[in-house]
Amino acid sequence: ITLFPLSVGPQPQLLARIAPGIIQVAALLASLLALERLFRDDLQDGSLEQLMLLPVPLPAVVLAKVLAHWAVTGLPLIMLSPLVALLLGMDVYGWKIMALTLLLGTPALGFLAAPGVGLTAGLRRGGVLLGILVLPLSVPVLIFAAAAMDAASMHLPADGYLAVLGALLAGSATLSPFATAAALRLSVQ
């Protein structure tokens, strides 16, 4: 993100105009880089089988791991969002909407990607397949988050876009742990 002002020039209007795309793609890349190893290490060292034997349901374990992944990748992005807003010439309203889109979008990206991670956990070079599986699922999050930030940059209401992001988060957080648990059971067998 810090290299964009150097590459496209220091014009504040241009930076503020392309900021939604920059921020959302950076959030997606930060999430995808760490996602590949979400369950792979547990599968390789045998701890995934032990987690499956716990009296706790496997979807609850998946939910905890995805939330821990979000705490490591998404939460730092939200905490650094004031600095990013300053670098990209955004106003306070734009920063608030950016923080809300990151708060709703980054966990949704993690939940949407978790079943793909579960399916590719047993593969040696599953990163490419993971990208092919996850990128189409992440497009709605990117579209609505960037649209909310674009509306905020024009001082228009972004409530509808944020509501859709909230619905994507609620739906993915509800269904993803069960789909991921099923995918992990297939990967272990």
DSSP state of 127: H
| Integer Cα distance of 118 and 40 in angstroms | 8
Position 131, amino acid: G
Token readout for 94 is 């734009």
Give the pTM.
0.85
| Integer Cα distance of 146 and 139 in angstroms | 10
Closest CA to 7 of 53, 155, 18, 34: 18
Quickly count: other Cβ atoms within 10 Å of residue 155's Cβ: 10
| Integer Cα distance of 50 and 96 in angstroms | 42
* Residues contacting 12, CB < 8 A, separation 6+: 89
* Residues contacting 172, CB < 8 A, separation 6+: 108, 111, 112
Residue segments in the chain with a per-residue pLDDT below the cut of 70: 1-2, 4-6, 10, 12
> Taking every pair of C-alpha atoms in the chain, what is the biggest distance, in angstroms?
57
Per-residue pLDDT at 103:
93
DSSP state of 10: S
